Chains A and B, each alone.
Chain A
Amino acid sequence: MVASRIAFISEIKKKPVTEQYPYKPISVPEGFRGKPVIDPEKCIGCGACVNACPPGALSIYDEGNYRVVKLFLGRCIFCGRCQDVCPMGAVRLTDMFELASLSRDDLVQEVRLLLEKCSLCGKAFATRREVRHVEEKLDPEQRWLAHLCPRCRALVSAKMIGYARGCNR
């Protein structure tokens, strides 16, 4: 009995340790994994984040002339895999964690990127930015290839190899 009373009395003399949150803001350490934000200026719509995302919070689909990268925070687990794999450094986890909202729309971020049409068949196949990103990595004389859809590029490449080998049929 005595021991438990001593424990109780020594505790009751202390000041409360309760944080005054939400009346006072609370700080989070550096490297905190909060709400992910896509920088619409940097995103090229490659879909690497969509592939890596474990819960399927990120999705990618085409709508008219645009490719949409959609982030739905309702599914997000804040693991930061999107940030790891993004080749452009466009996804970043912020220190925001107060995400409660009355509207579902507040939990959605959409990045809309103009699609590039294949210069041969006219089918939309990648975003303009992604094509430009690839173009920059190619030699100047190969750059036109970046504007072909994968199917046309395969056909054209096969033909070119055929010409080079002299089997012109």
Chain B
Amino acid sequence: MRCDEFIAKTGLVDAECVDDSTVLVRAKNVLETAEKLAEYGPRYSTGVGIDYRPINRSYLMHHVLALDKDGLFIVLEASTGDPEPSIKSITPVYPAANWHEREAMDMLGIRFENHPEPYRLILPDDWPEGVYPLRKDYPYDEKPYDPRSIADRAAPRYFSAKTGVGEKRVAAEIPLGPYHPALHEPEYYELIVEGERIVEARYRGFYVHRGMEKLAESRLTYNQIPFLAERICGICGYTHATAYCQAVEKAADIRVPVRAEYIRSILLEIERLHSHLLWFGVAFHLLGFDTGFMITWRLREKIMDLAELLTGNRKTYGLNLVGGVRRDIDEAKARAVLEALDYIEGKFKALIKQVKDMGEIIARTKNIGILTRDEARKLGAVGPHARASGVDIDVRRDYPYAAYKYVDVNVPVMDGCDVLSRILVRYEETLESIRLLRVFIREIPAGGLMAEYGDIPELRIGIGVTEAPRGEDIHYVVTGRENKIYRWRPRAPSYMNLATVPYMLVGEKLANAPIIIASIDPCFSCTDHVIVIDVGSGRKMSLMKALRMI
């Protein structure tokens, strides 16, 4: 469905077309409009708070709702003004809006009325009250306080599956994460266990918020941001750079040459292969099948070599600019890709065939970490994680971009809702990636690599969306003047998927926690320190200390 058809069908007032696939709805009463739109069954995709005061003295909150069947984005705009910006929360209608609204609350100081959990999410617990870093009058290089001078810190608050802010009630709590010195990213899970069973799980993240949005809008120019966007993630960076470029291209109506689109798609699929193979390795390692870990990572090394050959770097390919790509793929390189694919495909199929026969692995993954279809939809899960719960979404098919416009993408969907399904979905996807790469290499047309364009117009909205290895990656931009962006909000897929983890953990055995958390393919912190609580005194001590006392 096209944008104008949608407006005609719904009879929305105050709606306009931003482009063919984006509707902007300026709502007077955001909650009412959100409820009305909920009839069409949209998936909450991202929420963007914007300090619009320099333009019209207001703050804007843009909720982006996705109608996957129609390939349409609805931007629901709510506005409010100084001195006490306040907007009705739509979290009661769309539970997935929870984090997005809290992020706008933290970063811009917008209050959300009737929000079920109006607590800090992004900012550190010792960040001073009333200091909002994403407001335009806040300098990008200012430090609000000297972290060393803070004497007493506020107690951290958690996102929880069962209760909002957790109260202590059970005997043992097991922290997973967050300060592992060597591995992965800092994220913190607090698991409350009764015996072997997890009865409650709380999550606290955002330890590595790096202020990239502020940096981009205050210091960098349009063509510098792709390199920053690429550094959002160390595994799927190129998909972020692509989503950003697509967002700006959409806002400025820049047509990327077809050859450049194919090159982008080739690199995106190479990145997906590397990411999925990496994930298989991690998953096998967590399941105790280290031979599988060795095999998949050895195969992955071929992909890393390919990336180095095509881009000049193993990771952070650095090939995207607004309007196209920077480097061509010649005959010899294309041949190298095809040869490596043949090698990987055979070995990988043989490995997974063996894995499917391994009783140990099936026993540890089947019916483990259940996320039902309804929960997945409600929480806005995306990517292979959602597809393993029977939610049939894939950006490459639903919102075709780059060279996916010219080919058919097969989307594997399974309804096991468990860890095993997530493994199998990713297996099918890996094979599909290999197939797509062969198609792209065969069909890539001749042509230029970079579009010609002039100045990028001011205050246009652009949504760039890609299917990252972990799911939908959506970048929202508002263009600015003087070759700079006004607002850039990237939302990585794990942002949506992490909120589902506490739901999957509750009721499971503790030993399954690592693979359940890993099954969404986050970058999670390691699991090696345990706190033992003496139930009588409530005293906490480390496991090592407890063992020494025995």
Contact = CB atoms under 8 A, between A and B. Distances in A.
Answer yes or no: are A and B bound together in one complex.
yes
Interface of A: 1-4, 6-8, 11, 17, 28-29, 31-33, 52-55, 77-81, 84, 93
17 contacts: A3-B355, A4-B289, A4-B358, A6-B354, A7-B354, A11-B294, A31-B327, A33-B318, A52-B223, A52-B224, A54-B220, A54-B228, A77-B318, A80-B312, A80-B318, A81-B227, A93-B312
A11 B318 contact: no
Contact of B224 (A7, A8, A54, A78): A54
A29 B309 contact: yes
A96 to B, nearest CB: 13
Nearest to A4: B358
A46 B351 CA distance: 56
B227 A32 contact: no
Nearest to B355: A3
A contact patch SS: loop
Nearest to A30: B309
Contacts of A79: 227, 318
B228 A33 contact: no
Nearest to A2: B357
Contacts of A31: 309, 312, 327
Q: Which 6 A-B pairs have the closest CB atoms?
A: A33-B312, A54-B224, A3-B357, A54-B227, A79-B318, A29-B309
A28 B313 CA distance: 10
B494 interface: no
Interface in B343-358: 351, 354-355, 357-358
A7 B351 contact: yes
B326 interface: yes
B242 interface: no
A84 B223 CA distance: 12
B533 to A, nearest CB: 37
Contact of B354 (A3, A52, A77): A3
Contacts of B369: none
Contacts of B358: 1, 3-4
Interface in B337-378: 351, 354-355, 357-361
A8 B220 contact: no
Contacts of B318: 33, 77-80
B309 A78 contact: no
Given A3-B354, A4-B291, A78-B313, A55 B326 contact: no
B122 interface: no
Contact of A17 (B220, B289, B298): B298
Contacts of B109: none
Nearest to B292: A7
A49 to B, nearest CB: 12
A29 B308 contact: yes
A77 B227 contact: yes
A66 to B, nearest CB: 27
B60 to A, nearest CB: 28
Nearest to A8: B291
B160 interface: no
A31 B355 CA distance: 38
Interface in B213-233: 220, 223-225, 227-228, 231
B295 interface: yes
Nearest to B312: A33
A11 B312 contact: no
A1 B309 CA distance: 39
A79 B227 CA distance: 8
B316 interface: yes
B313 A33 contact: yes
B360 A4 contact: yes
Interface string B274-299: 00000000000000010110110010
B281 to A, nearest CB: 14
A81 B295 CA distance: 36
Contacts of B354: 3-4, 6-7
Interface in B282-335: 289, 291-292, 294-295, 298, 305, 308-309, 311-313, 316, 318, 326-327
B162 to A, nearest CB: 37
A143 B291 CA distance: 72
A17 to B, nearest CB: 6
Contacts of A80: 312, 318, 326
B227 A55 contact: yes
B326 A84 contact: yes
Contacts of B220: 54
B120 to A, nearest CB: 30
A114 B355 CA distance: 68
A55 B219 CA distance: 10
A139 to B, nearest CB: 29
